[in-house]
Amino acid sequence: MRTKLNEVMRDRRSIRVLERHEGITKKKIEEMLRLALYAPNAFNMQSSRMVVLMGCEHEKFWDETKEILRGVTPASAFARTEHKMDGFRGGNGTILFFEDTQVVKKYQKDFPLYADKFSQFSQHNNAILQYALWLVFEEEGIAASLQHYNPLVDEVVCEEWNVPKTWELVAQMPFGKAAERPEMREFKPFEDIVKIYE
């Protein structure tokens, strides 16, 4: 197991073609989720929610998503879309990330000075949670990527997995064993992104 954070951060990549691995168990995923929950969040809102789909439920999600996309994707482009769906479906599971809007509204009421900012804060919190979990996955050799098929899949998700109406779907993270090698990343010049003054 790699223990250096810098190695984990550099090695983390989006892997979109996945396959199952018997070592990726429900218990192991639960342990990693508990660790990721230590991620910081503004005002300690704890408004992020997750639904974990594994096995048949995971496959059902990507089958449903494929059919939804079939209805909105030009026929000439659907083969590529179908290939992507099959790549995600091949893994062990998918994490569905949500924000509980009821919690956000409570903080807007309790802290009126920042009322117009709490929706933004909640999205920041969720993004940090996603990244924290992704790093934990990478450290354990589990491949993943972040997908955004909301709002197309929102209705199906709410009905199929009994998700409260106050939960807003933010992202989906399919995970499993890597079945592809990612291309080299290209970075813009550091100086174009970071300005340092002293």
Compute φ and ψ for 41, nearest 5 degrees: -150, 140
Within 10 angstroms of residue 106's Cβ, the number of other Cβ atoms is: 14
CA neighbor of 170 nearest in space, from 128, 112, 115, 107: 128
Q: What is the DSSP letter of 10?
A: H
CA distance 8 to 102: 35
Q: What is the DSSP letter of 14?
A: B
Mind listing the pLDDT tens digit for each residue in 59-110?
999 999 999 999 999 999 999 999 999 999 999 999 999 999 999 999 999 9
At residue 116, the pLDDT reads 96
Q: Tokens for 77?
A: 């482009």
The pLDDT of residue 183 is above 80:
yes
Q: Distance from CA of residue 55 to its chain's centroid?
A: 17
Look at 58 and 183; give whichever has higher pLDDT.
58
Indicate if the alpha-carbon torsion angle 180, 183, 184, 188 is positive or negative. Answer: negative
Rounded to the nearest 10 degrees, what angle do helices 118-139 and 26-36 cross at? 130
Domain 5-193, CATH 3.40.109.10 — does that match?
yes
Residue corresponding to tokens 């769906």: 85
CA distance 192 to 30: 40
Domain ranges across the chain? 5-193
The pLDDT of residue 2 is above 60:
no
At residue 1, the pLDDT reads 52
When pLDDT is cut at 50, 70 and 90, the band that residue 3 belongs to is: low
At residue 133, the pLDDT reads 98
At residue 4, the pLDDT reads 86
When pLDDT is cut at 50, 70 and 90, the band that residue 5 belongs to is: confident
Mind listing the pLDDT tens digit for each residue in 32-62?
999 999 999 999 999 999 999 999 999 999 9
Cα distance from N-terminal residue to C-terminal residue, the chain: 38
Mind listing the pLDDT tens digit for each residue in 123-181?
999 999 999 999 999 999 999 999 999 999 999 999 999 999 999 999 999 999 999 99
> Any alpha helices (H) in the chain, and if so which ranges?
5-11, 26-36, 56-70, 78-89, 101-110, 118-139, 154-160, 190-193
Q: Tokens for 78?
A: 């659907």
CA distance 80 to 89: 14
Q: Tokens for 194?
A: 């970071």
